[in-house]
Amino acid sequence: MSNYKNHTPEEVQLKIEQSQEAWKKWRLTDIAIRSSLLLKLAAVLRSRQQPLAALMADEMGKPIKQGIAEVEKCARCCEYYAEHAAAYLEDQIIRTEASKSYISFQPLGIILAIMPWNFPLWQVIRFLAPALAVGNAALLKHASNVPGSAMAIEEMILEAGFPPLLFQTLLISSKDVALVLEHPHIKAATLTGSTPAGKQVAAKAGALLKKVVLELGGSDPYIILKDADLELAAEACVSSRLINSGQSCIAAKRFIVEAEIEEAFTQHFLEKMKAKTMGDPHDPGTDIGPLARADLRDELHEQVRTSIEKGAICLLGGIIPPGNHAFFPPTLLTNVQPGMPAYEEELFGPVAAFITAKDEADAIRIANDTSFGLGSAVFTSDLAKGEDIARNQLEAGASFVNSLVQSDPRLPFGGINQSGFGRELGLFGIREFVNIKTISIR
């Protein structure tokens, strides 16, 4: 593992000035050139797929096969914006009394990105690809436990042929973010992380009148109705709950099961949970690696322990294995009730919380009984009913029917309520950090 030294305040100021100068030229670069460089970045990502996956396994414990998939997803995101950015940013003609009037989408300047450790490459690329396509510059404050991933992204940007200093990593602590945000060259910020961190950045950005996009925590509900295909539902639910060893904002967290089929669904779920392998993240056969840090493992264990003390029933896992590590086993809690951490809080690890619903209406009520609002899903054989529930009744930024919730470069991604605001990805993501400029000519 490499050692990295934090940048001094003077170094940070220099990097901001350098990015500003690089941006002045980049903003005038033809979008065809920007798109061609995104395609080169996709190729660079794929050429480094194996070492990048190994780096993520070393830094935060991601299973190697999931790391390989993450790199591929980053490459596809770059390709998507290379193909679609020009159309998304095309002038929109508006008929008025003027001889010519239209809307132009112009770059803002330097965007500050504050990113977490759980998807060290994807969280950055899903913001960076559209930001660079627009003509913005970017500075990255990555999580302190993944500096190697941050520096690797900077290296790949240069290898792809983007101008030097257009994108740079700031090796700084969280307490220094406010000072960076205050700099007049920083025009906006995007943060993926916890709700408390999002509130701090939003308060600071609001005081400065700078735009911010926040993708925060989630406690995603998955409703399993009595007419669902239980085998399909269990496969999707277990996959979602255990992705990235359970450390994902849009992982399934609360499983709301109609009472009539709860026993049968529980057996399907247990069978699939028990089949997953926990072990060395470098082993291609590993499904669940260690959590990113031992303190996060201990926090999760406390949430589980407290929930059990309050009446939850532990059917699987729940006990930290012996040894000096950050592993936490796949865990299933049933009889989860209001007032328990498993009901009220986000469980950031491989712990599933089962909540019994009397009927469909009760299941929807429980699903919406949360301060979060990131993703949600419903499983039913009645697709019309499922679509109605997803579209009109579940309160979240995304609702899926008979499928686990996933981010996709083609679709906008983000939440409501305590899960944040603004959108990444798709058409709406590329237009978050632009000056929507009106041009009118008499």
Q: Is 403:236 a contact under the CB 8 Å cutoff?
A: yes
Q: Is 146:293 a contact under the CB 8 Å cutoff?
A: no
| Tokens linked to 122 | 């994807």
What's the rounded Cα separation, in Å, for the pair 362 and 194?
Answer: 29
Q: How do beta strands 167-169 and 137-141 pair? A: parallel
Partnered with residue 139 across adjacent β-strands are: 112, 168
Partnered with residue 169 across adjacent β-strands are: 140
**Annotated active-site positions, please?**
215, 249
What H or E segment, with its residue span, contains residue 66?
helix 64-88
Q: Is 287:276 a contact under the CB 8 Å cutoff?
A: yes
9-35 burial code (b ≥16 CB/10 A, e <16)? eeebeebbebbbebbeebeeeebeebb
What residue spans of 135-281 are helical by DSSP H?
147-160, 177-182, 195-208, 230-242, 262-274
How many other CB atoms are found less than 10 A from the CB of residue 196?
A: 10
Q: Is 44 helix (H, G, I), strand (E, B) or coil?
A: helix
Instruction: Identify residue 182 by its one-letter amino acid code.
Output: E
